[in-house]
Structure 1
């Protein structure tokens, strides 16, 4: 499906550092769009536009006419800076201050690559904002109750990790398990390699390991940790810093330290790129021997690489479905479809993600296309339905 031009694209230049930030609003529904804010060196307007379009698709794919949560439009923000840089926090505050008119009225945002929700919340308060999602407040039946419910949900921990950090990984894992079930592949003995061990990658590894799969490789910024017999995922999780980097002192004698790109050729049936965009290109895709690539990150597989992978039988499960659970969990909680409860959240995520992944794979089989093309076809079906109910805003 061809992507129309976004509703709005904005480039901001910081007067202190000269660095640039971006905001793209792809589409509005009921006057509001949702999508996170990322910070990474090399971030571009084109990248943010692709992410904003992806958010429109994720929102549409979770449309439930009976739900309290009504999908928003799609938007995304980006800042070209290393989040570890000394000037990063001040830059974030100035960006949010500059974007304040949009955040107050039409753009609901939150954490994304390089930024935690706690950091976004702290910077938003310093920038004079009530909340990073305050544009949604006029759409709520009871704003006070909704804000309290979301705050309570963010305070929930499961085995030492916040529910907000686990929701997305639960959704990714369910997409993997759905694909395995459809292929009649047992969980035991199925090997997984994960690139990125932050919020999404770490949670995905935990859920897959607990389902009985073997995590044989994990890559972070320092390199790849590997063990053909399986890594101790819980020990690695406990040894992460705030950026998802693992303290190597927890590695066991049988664990190996390999180069950063070794995860690509790890002996695994499932690869989970859960870090940066554009990680798999036409060159390095040749090293991949996995059966499935599951996009926990946004846009990690370049289209040209995906075509080559498909030609040799590698299935890519696309980001717009696979990693959409985080966004859905936020809104289900805020709008009141679920409460601030881990059991209820995981049950809803598992049910929704299995249904959505299954629907996508059914459509791919029926149309003789890739899962990504099938997901795009589902979006093309749903956007007019949403527009018929709420109107077109372009």
Structure 2
């Protein structure tokens, strides 16, 4: 495996906590990848996420589009986002990384951090924007920035468009897999781990497509109902961290242990919270036919191998949860406007095509969807490098 282009470890001089930045690759001198904050975050974790971002960018390469994929990067801070010191730590981290953010790294919300919080901290750290490194690549910076700001201001049924686009992509990948297998939506049951931005939006789109969500898990445990949960009510009662108010539960809803989502009687599992959620041991509890990776790196490699041997298909994160990042750039570069219907239509079309390409390649090669996606990336990276040059 090729080492990353840049790997940094930062130690906060006030708390002693550490933050990380890994730039896996640059394209046109710029990389893209969110910033996460969680207790226990490591450099190896961030490096794996940065490699994943390189793949996500390459998978969305379209030579006819205005959006040209960037390189992959990722940032991480080892701190519980609920810690009273978390925000000040975030500001100091961004201040320390300011030369990178001004020159070659664009970032945004990720696990533990909302975009509003990142924007506020970036301004306090003296940055114009958390994505200002991409501005020199824009034909009309003022128009592009206004279009993206307008898109972030769009509200859909009480939820910001930016909080829905990723889940729309996850749901469309799952629906494409069902269509390919000839499985009707109405007969499909879903369990979701994590009801934050990505998990909540995924649950909403799958429910509206006719699937039944029978279990959701948050930090307090799993909520289950074999007859189906009232997803809209659960979403309406979440706090800022995706925790559901148990007072909103109906008589048929049961409260179960936090890991009960793994063994839920469901056809699709959607891990949408932390990395490394499914390992070699707990994978044996899974009864689902598909695992749709809304989170980054939720299924460990040894677990995926065992699941594949049991006939469980893992739809990988590098495809499934790539719509949020792509939507930012489609909007900024002008492939789509600041409109929800246009955004959802573009996401559905792009994610369905990408998922179908991956699954067809997996079937033709007799391999897993992840291996097939990696093959597509391996085909596209040299094409991108030949067009824009290499930065290694």
**Per the shorter chain, which TM-score range?**
over 0.9
Of residues 120, 123, 136, the one that matches 1:122 is: 120
Deviation at 1:25, TM superposition (A): 0.2
Q: State the partner residue of 1:240.
A: 238
Of residues 168, 173, 176, the one that matches 1:175 is: 173
Q: Per the alignment, in what secondary structure is the counterpart of residue 250 of structure 2?
A: coil
Aligned equivalents of 2:244 and 2:149: distance in 1?
28
Q: State the partner residue of 1:314.
A: 312
Of residues 50, 53, 71, the one that matches 1:52 is: 50
Aligned equivalents of 2:184 and 2:13: distance in 1?
56
Of residues 373, 379, 382, the one that matches 2:380 is: 382
Aligned length: 392
Runs of 4+ displaced beyond 6 Å:
none
* Residues 1:203 and 2:201 are matched in the alignment: yes
The within-5 A match list for 1:80-91 is 80-91=78-89
TM-score (norm 2): 1.00
Aligned equivalents of 1:37 and 1:4: distance in 2?
22
Q: Per the alignment, in what secondary structure is the counterpart of residue 164 of structure 2?
A: helix
Deviation at 1:365, TM superposition (A): 0.5
Of residues 265, 284, 295, the one that matches 2:282 is: 284
Q: State the partner residue of 1:340.
A: 338
The within-5 A match list for 1:147-296 is 147-296=145-294
Of residues 356, 359, 373, the one that matches 2:357 is: 359
Q: State the partner residue of 2:61.
A: 63
Measured on the aligned residues, the alpha-carbon RMSD in Å equals 0.4
Q: Per the alignment, in what secondary structure is the counterpart of residue 37 of structure 2?
A: strand
Unaligned runs of 5+ in 2: none
Aligned equivalents of 1:379 and 1:391: distance in 2?
17
Deviation at 1:358, TM superposition (A): 0.1
Deviation at 1:117, TM superposition (A): 0.1
Q: State the partner residue of 2:74.
A: 76
Deviation at 1:393, TM superposition (A): 1.0
Deviation at 1:189, TM superposition (A): 1.9
Q: Per the alignment, in what secondary structure is the counterpart of residue 332 of structure 1?
A: helix
Q: Per the alignment, in what secondary structure is the counterpart of residue 279 of structure 1?
A: coil
Q: Per the alignment, in what secondary structure is the counterpart of residue 22 of structure 1?
A: strand
TM-score (norm 1): 0.99
